[in-house]
Structure 1
Amino acid sequence: MSTSPQGVRQRQKEAPNGKKRTGGTTAMPTTDSSSSDGSLMNGNVGEKIEQVKQKGKEVVQRDWDYKLALAVITVLAFVTRFWGISHPNQVVFDEVHFGKFASYYLQRTYFFDVHPPFGKLLFALAGWLVGYDGSFLFENIGDSYVTNKVPYVAYRSMPALMGALTVSVVFWIMWESGYSLPACIVAAAIVLFDNAHIGQTRLILLDATLVLFMALSVLSYIRFYKLRHEPFTRKWWKWLLLTGINMSSVISTKYVGAFTFFSIGVPVAIDLWDLLDINRKQGPLSLPDFGKHLAARVIGLIVVPFMMYLFWFQVHFAILSRSGPGDDFMTPEFQETLSDNLMTQQAVGIDYFDNIAMRHKETKVYLHSHVDHYPLRYDDGRISSQGQQVTGYPHNDTNNLWQIIPSEALEGLGHHVKNGDTVRFRHLVTDTWLLSHDVASPSMPTNQEFSTVPVDDANGPRYNDTLFELRIENGKAGQEFKTLASHFKLVHVPTKVAMWTHHTLAPLPEWGFKQAEINGNKNLQQSSNVWFVEEVPGIAVDSPRLIKEERKTKSMPFLKKYFELQRAMFFHNNALTSSHPYASFPIQWPFLLRGVSFWTENDTRQQIYFLGNPVGWWFASCILAVFAGILLADQVSVRRGVDALDSRTRARLYNSTGFFLLLWAAHYAPFFIMGRQLFLHHYLPAHLASALVAGAVVEFITNIEPPELATFTEAQLQEAKKGSTRTQTQQAEGVLRSRPIRERIGGQSLVVTWAAAGVIVAALVGGFLFFAPLTYGRPGLSVEQVTARKWLNYDLHFAK
């Protein structure tokens, strides 16, 4: 199936000085093939094109209806997004995250988040523009903005502005794609009166940015595609670069923006494949010319977007120059680039025979042991070593202390531990020695058990099992081992496994006191093998080891910082697998089976419940099924020799509406293979795409085209090609094929389309108003009113 957005309209306008301008709209021919003078069917191609353009001026002059509708829709979008935006004057749902991040930017304090920085930087910009200092950290849902003097309306106005403009862009996409005014209104109204789009864009959340730039990417690509017969012109380059810039803004907000790259990448690849065809209608391209087309798209849709994406990370690093809560996610080398970093200030060199407390970097549990032993048999029947337990313990305790011992005898004290040293560990309280051996761990038969043995065994037959190599992450040979600053892996010398635990591991049973399991991991490359020494207790206060030299903030190459942050972001994003009471599965989203509780206030019985407009969601989902049925029916008919559609209608159905369907599928299907937490708001980009499909299919169903009009363009085009040069033929195709549908549908069909659009919009308005109290958080509803809105047993508050 071709997915290029066919059927888009190109119109030429007259500039105020009377000169023609090639941008914007292109003149369209009228569709009356029975014109008395038959001018469109006579004369050479140049004359026909001029006549078409002259007749198209009438179309341009009649564009006032589209412009008026766009203006009305835009005003309504601003009203629905900004109405009562100051309510509630409390922190709502994930504002605790993104409001906090904006404050960290304003304080220049380093933080960590799984999303790229662009959307969060916009919130910080809003705060900076109104002179806010970022002193409030959005700690808890329900905290008062008024009491803490937060300019929250300015923050919320940023996504509300983008949410309102999204509605206008949806209308514009349909307009540029050549659909009739009723179809444009239907598509825009599905987004305009959708409670989910409104609710998500009135709060300090990232989705408004994501959805707006996703829509702008589609619009700019359509504008670029319309100029395919004018390659390498200024406007061609403008819309190509704008497509890349908008796509970059999407992926710079959330990584699901990669779905937008795929959506546009597919038709771009198909377009390039067509350009490579030596038998293409417009004539073959030489390989050097094809290379130019390929290079232009690589630059505009890959290189420029990636450079912009990197730019926002550079801004991110430049602003966040002070130590903060994100330090723990980064390596010591990265942390040394931040001012006021506690690790840099408090790091202490570790000597042999020091007592140390080792802590796992990710789970933050201490390496711990106690007098209890592993049971003889585990629940699955496997036999253990019955050795002393080694576990992960979340609290500071004397059983967390281990003495670090050299593997070979050293004279005196004061010998520094260094990277690459082979060391041993004595558990201080029980006077036993840490080891690992070829015995399966309690819960993972593939991993080795960690245990401890008495000193006689440790210095006798089990000596080799107590040897561990100390590998400092990104450390140099002979680098000094320090508290906090040295993140390390402890690799068992005989078996080459790394000491490991993980937050996904179930805690040990009762015999292990529900503590974390520690075992040996054969995959040495995993980041979850990393530990650090939190402290060295017992150092004399006057020890020269505690004297701190004034240290300067170090620098680190940008790309090294970028790749380190990328690894951490992807790892922690994939680790978001814990359950959430309002998480939902992708199969539930198109049917709007459940929403998310954002905010409640018991005294007034007010609540904000994130939920779409059921009328719009169910209608759009049904239309997707109808469209699939239409495509199937057409294919079966063609296979049986029944050609029910003319070539133009079929091309439009498969190419333009098919492109919108691809957009929907690309933003929806990938969520089925994700293992992380998912919520209803993840469907918003796909819902916007389904609105475009709905508008297009409504027009297709209600458009009953007279047969003579259906064949008019094809016959006219064939006549125009006779005796014409290739350039003239291309010009004729570009003008004649871009005739808008609204100029070729009959008056009766137009009435049907308007009637259908009116019914749909009325239903959308009704659904929006009925659920508006849950979207705006007021007024409070009685038990009966709440119960009336539990259409699919939505888990609303105050239903009793």
Structure 2
Amino acid sequence: MAAQAQTTGADAHAEELRRRNVAGQPTAPPATGTQAPVKEKSKEKPFDILTFLDETEFLWAPLIFTALAFFTRMWKIGLSPIVTWDEAHFGKFGSHYLKREFYFDVHPPLGKMLVGLSGYLAGYNGSFEFKSGETYPEELNYTFMRLFNSAFGALCVPVAYFTAKELNFRRPTVWLITLAVLFENSYTTISRFILLDSMLLFFTFTTVLCWAKFHRLQNDPFSPEWGLWLMFTGVSIGCVCSVKWVGLFCTALVGLYTVEDLWNKFGDLKMPKIELFTHVAFRVFGLILIPLAVYMFSFYMHFLVLENSGPGDAQMSSLFQANLRGTEVGKDSPLEIAYGSRATLKNMGYGGGLLHSHHQTYPEGSSQQQITCYHHKDANNDWFFYPNRGEVDYNPEEEPRFPGNGDTIRLIHAQTGRNLHSHQIAAPVTKSDWEVSCYGNTTVGDTKDHWIVEVVRDAASWDKSKLRTLTTAFRLKHVDLGCYLRAGNVNLPQWGFKQIEVTCTKDNKPRDVYTHWNVESHWNEKLPPGDPGSYKSPFLQDFIHLNVAMMTSNNALVPDPDKQDDLASKFWQWPILHVGLRMCGWDDKIVKYFLLGNPIVYWGSTASLGIFGLLVLWYLIRWQRGYTDLKQFEIDQIHYAGVYPVIGWFLHYLPFVAMGRVTYVHHYYPALYFAIICAGFCMDWATRKVNKQITWTIFGALYIVIIGLFWLFRAICFGMEGSNQQWNHLKWFSTWRITD
């Protein structure tokens, strides 16, 4: 027992010596006999500034980066007093919010509402028209509105810093990614104007940060912090999608990660089923319901604020328009349609327009007068309701006769006096349908001018026997052919002024909303005015209607072969920095801005995508041959800090390869961020086993090159004054149109 006690005491003493050595404390020889223990003097470690900076880097580094970000994004921001590039669009949309006028645009409303908020805070009243190249009036504080927008661009920098940390990169890499975002010329320039791009980038950055934070907490599921970052990810997804639909690509990235994560949990047989169900429920709530709620709420606010009639009314349903203040739709219109009534007919399909005709004829087919759908209001949208040729002719002096469900009518174009007509001639674009034209007049014609009214529903009454202004949805069936009048979202060629094609479809699909019509405006002196506008249009219906109209208009933004667009560019030109973009006129008297990236950031990030692919291929080949080069934490680092950023790049880049719409250099900017992260990963991986001093030397050289090139090209960001010939030295390639 004594020997055991001695052994235990020796072990305890050895442990004490080990503890002191680890702590860096001096050790004393063991006490023998009754010798008193030697008293140690405590020595404080001298203050070391380098150690202090190293330990507090998480405080001072993001502060310095953020201060530099606000400087680069805001310095001389008000130098140019003219409406620059797409400020003509988004400034005007901001004006509509201040005047509360309903407008239409292809982008969701959140970013434009924020532009309107910047104008409100600047004391702007919404009266300026924001015409391109026009000088801002003195009473409009455009500098403040630009500063408001630039704050989103500046905040991208600290978000990039913290994202790189969450992706488990070492400090030199964290700084490299942050500096690449901070001193990226294109990010700087695009953030300095009243545009949506800085907001789009900011919410893209925050989505990646929230996702990275959430991923780092995977070993602590259902904790308050885990749930908080899951919900933050959902809110960020909702915001980025509410600025531009490009945010859907960010949503897809998080969606792929979630599918993989849940699939792995599904394969974990040790996980209780209730826990797996809870994981699924949390993600449905956080990553589907929350983003959808944020997205829909932005449209709710959009409808709530824009309560006055404006230039975008025609994109919405007639019932929606009738509830806008100051609208002429439905105003004093008689409720029931009678023969002799003059009316406009609105297609009830998503993005549908008004039934329209004009003197121009089809270049092929029947060569008769064109029938189209048109969103703008003019007299060529007006039609008279007349009885069919088998009934008693319409007499202006007669008592009103009311056509209803099942009745056969004629529609006569008010401006040309011709009948709405169809025949067995293929439609000009949709060849499977019959052509619809205008033919004859009130006396000349045949039964091919006859249409049967089929009432679908009525928002004001269960009675479907009558036609009512705004509230009645009806179809028009051709008597001879049995086809239905339809206006899809197909646009005619230039000879049809790119207006919507109207056809007579052979398919009888009662639920096809593109065959549904309603009377929007109605004039008849013999009938008393009604109040059909008292019926509200449901929010969900308006929400879906507007989103489909946005999608349709977005798809119609295709390059015009008859018109040269000097600002447009191709997808392959972006990653190699083949072109830039002139943001304004190039006259010597105005301040000029050129949208061009930092060459080392662009070329380095693009090259890293290929390098990363080779890296993954190398390890896959080694793995297949039986080598075990990587530990599990290294595989995870490649997976989440390498593969997912590359997937993010592809998701944000490849859609622009496939889509036929006109494209510009700024469409690449969200994808560029993921390429920058990939470049950071490649540098981090390549130097992970390199001596610390050599690592900092390599990264220091990269920092200098990034900052140096940014400074070299600073004039394209902060404004080029005077003759553009002063910057000939920046025109490295003929496609960089910095000079004439």
The gaps in structure 1 that reach 5 residues or longer are: 1-33, 40-57, 379-383, 705-747
Aligned match of 1:556: 537
Question: Aligned-pair distance for 1:390?
Answer: 4.4
Aligned match of 1:211: 201
Which residue type is aligned with residue 766 of structure 1? G
Question: Aligned-pair distance for 1:584?
Answer: 2.4
Which residue type is aligned with residue 333 of structure 1? L
Aligned match of 1:661: 646
Contact persistence 2:411–2:420 (CA under 8 A): yes
Aligned match of 1:639: 624
Question: Aligned-pair distance for 1:161?
Answer: 0.9
What SS class does the counterpart of residue 345 from structure 1 fall into?
Answer: coil
Contact persistence 1:437–1:495 (CA under 8 A): no
Aligned match of 2:279: 293
What SS class does the counterpart of residue 697 from structure 1 fall into?
Answer: helix
The one of 572, 576, 591 equivalent to 1:606 is 591
Q: What's the CA shift string for 1:403-443, capped at 9, x where partnerless?
A: 53213525844223446642124578988754322223456
* CA distance in structure 2 between the aligned counterparts of 1:70 and 1:109, rounded to whole angstroms: 42
Which residue type is aligned with residue 493 of structure 2? A
Superposed, which structure 2 residues align to 1:257-268 within 5 Å?
Answer: 257-268=247-258
Contact persistence 1:191–1:197 (CA under 8 A): yes
- Say how many residue pairs are matched: 676
Question: Aligned-pair distance for 1:173?
Answer: 0.9
Aligned match of 1:780: 722
Matched, 1:325 2:311: yes
Question: Aligned-pair distance for 1:518?
Answer: 6.0
What SS class does the counterpart of residue 677 from structure 1 fall into?
Answer: coil
* CA distance in structure 2 between the aligned counterparts of 1:287 and 1:515, rounded to whole angstroms: 55
Matched, 1:506 2:487: no
The gaps in structure 2 that reach 5 residues or longer are: 1-17, 24-49
Q: What's the CA shift string for 1:635-670, capped at 9, x where partnerless?
A: 122223444444433332233222222222222223
* CA distance in structure 2 between the aligned counterparts of 1:795 and 1:346, rounded to whole angstroms: 58
Question: Aligned-pair distance for 1:241?
Answer: 1.4
What SS class does the counterpart of residue 221 from structure 2 fall into?
Answer: coil
Matched, 1:409 2:391: yes
Question: Aligned-pair distance for 1:532?
Answer: 7.8
- 1:405/1:675 Cα in 2 relative to 1: closer, same or farther (>3 Å)? same
Matched, 1:469 2:455: no
Question: Aligned-pair distance for 1:452?
Answer: 6.1
Which residue type is aligned with residue 351 of structure 1? A
What SS class does the counterpart of residue 178 from structure 1 fall into?
Answer: coil
Contact persistence 2:211–2:230 (CA under 8 A): yes
Superposed, which structure 2 residues align to 1:300-449 within 5 Å?
Answer: 300-345=286-331, 347=333, 350-353=337-340, 366-368=356-358, 388-390=368-370, 404-407=385-388, 408-410=390-392, 412-418=398-404, 421-425=407-411, 433-441=419-427, 445-449=431-435
What SS class does the counterpart of residue 252 from structure 1 fall into?
Answer: helix
* CA distance in structure 1 between the aligned counterparts of 2:580 and 2:109, rounded to whole angstroms: 27
Question: Aligned-pair distance for 1:560?
Answer: 2.4
Name which of structure 1's ranges 640-649 and 189-198 shifts more when overlaid on structure 2: 640-649
Name which of structure 1's ranges 410-419 and 66-75 shifts more when overlaid on structure 2: 410-419
Aligned match of 2:504: 520
Q: What's the CA shift string for 1:283-339, capped at 9, x where partnerless?
A: x22111222222122222222222222222222222111111121111111112212
Superposed, which structure 2 residues align to 1:220-235 within 5 Å?
Answer: 220-235=210-225
Aligned match of 2:15: none
- What percent of counterpart residues are identical? 30
Question: Aligned-pair distance for 1:752?
Answer: 2.5
- 1:474/1:121 Cα in 2 relative to 1: closer, same or farther (>3 Å)? farther
Matched, 1:694 2:679: yes
Which residue type is aligned with residue 342 of structure 1? E
Which residue type is aligned with residue 107 of structure 1? K
Aligned match of 1:573: 554
Q: What's the CA shift string for 1:515-566, capped at 9, x where partnerless?
A: 99865344677777677879889x7xxx454x65678754333222222222
What SS class does the counterpart of residue 590 from structure 1 fall into?
Answer: coil
The one of 80, 99, 105 equivalent to 2:72 is 80
* CA distance in structure 2 between the aligned counterparts of 1:337 and 1:768, rounded to whole angstroms: 52
- 1:516/1:643 Cα in 2 relative to 1: closer, same or farther (>3 Å)? closer
Name which of structure 1's ranges 617-626 and 268-277 shifts more when overlaid on structure 2: 268-277
Contact persistence 1:368–1:393 (CA under 8 A): no
Name which of structure 1's ranges 654-663 and 242-251 shifts more when overlaid on structure 2: 654-663
* CA distance in structure 2 between the aligned counterparts of 1:85 and 1:165, rounded to whole angstroms: 16
Contact persistence 2:249–2:652 (CA under 8 A): yes
* CA distance in structure 1 between the aligned counterparts of 2:136 and 2:613, rounded to whole angstroms: 48
Contact persistence 2:106–2:554 (CA under 8 A): yes
- 1:420/1:195 Cα in 2 relative to 1: closer, same or farther (>3 Å)? farther
* CA distance in structure 1 between the aligned counterparts of 2:439 and 2:516, rounded to whole angstroms: 24
Q: Whose RCO is larger (CA < 8 A, sep 6+)? A: 1
What SS class does the counterpart of residue 667 from structure 1 fall into?
Answer: helix
* CA distance in structure 2 between the aligned counterparts of 1:443 and 1:114, rounded to whole angstroms: 24
- 1:424/1:59 Cα in 2 relative to 1: closer, same or farther (>3 Å)? farther
* CA distance in structure 1 between the aligned counterparts of 2:355 and 2:730, rounded to whole angstroms: 46
Which residue type is aligned with residue 480 of structure 1? L
Aligned match of 1:28: none
The one of 166, 173, 183 equivalent to 1:193 is 183
* CA distance in structure 2 between the aligned counterparts of 1:399 and 1:109, rounded to whole angstroms: 25
- 1:277/1:777 Cα in 2 relative to 1: closer, same or farther (>3 Å)? same
Aligned match of 2:158: 168
* CA distance in structure 2 between the aligned counterparts of 1:472 and 1:596, rounded to whole angstroms: 53
What SS class does the counterpart of residue 169 from structure 2 fall into?
Answer: coil
* CA distance in structure 2 between the aligned counterparts of 1:474 and 1:790, rounded to whole angstroms: 64
Aligned match of 1:495: 482
What SS class does the counterpart of residue 137 from structure 2 fall into?
Answer: coil
* CA distance in structure 1 between the aligned counterparts of 2:259 and 2:165, rounded to whole angstroms: 24
Question: Aligned-pair distance for 1:590?
Answer: 1.1
* CA distance in structure 1 between the aligned counterparts of 2:332 and 2:738, rounded to whole angstroms: 49
Q: What's the CA shift string for 1:681-713, capped at 9, x where partnerless?
A: 121111111111111211111222xxxxxxxxx
What SS class does the counterpart of residue 439 from structure 1 fall into?
Answer: strand
Aligned match of 2:32: none
- 1:270/1:625 Cα in 2 relative to 1: closer, same or farther (>3 Å)? same
The one of 127, 135, 138 equivalent to 1:144 is 135
Contact persistence 1:359–1:367 (CA under 8 A): no
- 1:662/1:443 Cα in 2 relative to 1: closer, same or farther (>3 Å)? closer
- 1:544/1:436 Cα in 2 relative to 1: closer, same or farther (>3 Å)? closer
* CA distance in structure 2 between the aligned counterparts of 1:489 and 1:583, rounded to whole angstroms: 42
Query: What root-mean-square deviation, in Å, do the aligned CA atoms of Structure 1 and Structure 2 show?
Result: 3.8
Which residue type is aligned with residue 107 of structure 2? H
* CA distance in structure 2 between the aligned counterparts of 1:247 and 1:602, rounded to whole angstroms: 41
* CA distance in structure 1 between the aligned counterparts of 2:403 and 2:93, rounded to whole angstroms: 39
TM-score (norm 1): 0.75
* CA distance in structure 2 between the aligned counterparts of 1:563 and 1:174, rounded to whole angstroms: 38
Which residue type is aligned with residue 220 of structure 1? C
- 1:499/1:243 Cα in 2 relative to 1: closer, same or farther (>3 Å)? closer
Aligned match of 1:26: none
Question: Aligned-pair distance for 1:606?
Answer: 3.3
The one of 125, 128, 151 equivalent to 1:133 is 125
* CA distance in structure 2 between the aligned counterparts of 1:296 and 1:677, rounded to whole angstroms: 39
Question: Aligned-pair distance for 1:792?
Answer: 3.6
* CA distance in structure 2 between the aligned counterparts of 1:429 and 1:568, rounded to whole angstroms: 28
Contact persistence 1:165–1:212 (CA under 8 A): yes
TM-score (norm 2): 0.81
Matched, 1:626 2:618: no
Question: Aligned-pair distance for 1:38?
Answer: 9.5
* CA distance in structure 2 between the aligned counterparts of 1:627 and 1:514, rounded to whole angstroms: 45
* CA distance in structure 1 between the aligned counterparts of 2:553 and 2:499, rounded to whole angstroms: 23
Question: Aligned-pair distance for 1:755?
Answer: 1.9
- 1:456/1:134 Cα in 2 relative to 1: closer, same or farther (>3 Å)? closer
Question: Aligned-pair distance for 1:391?
Answer: 5.2
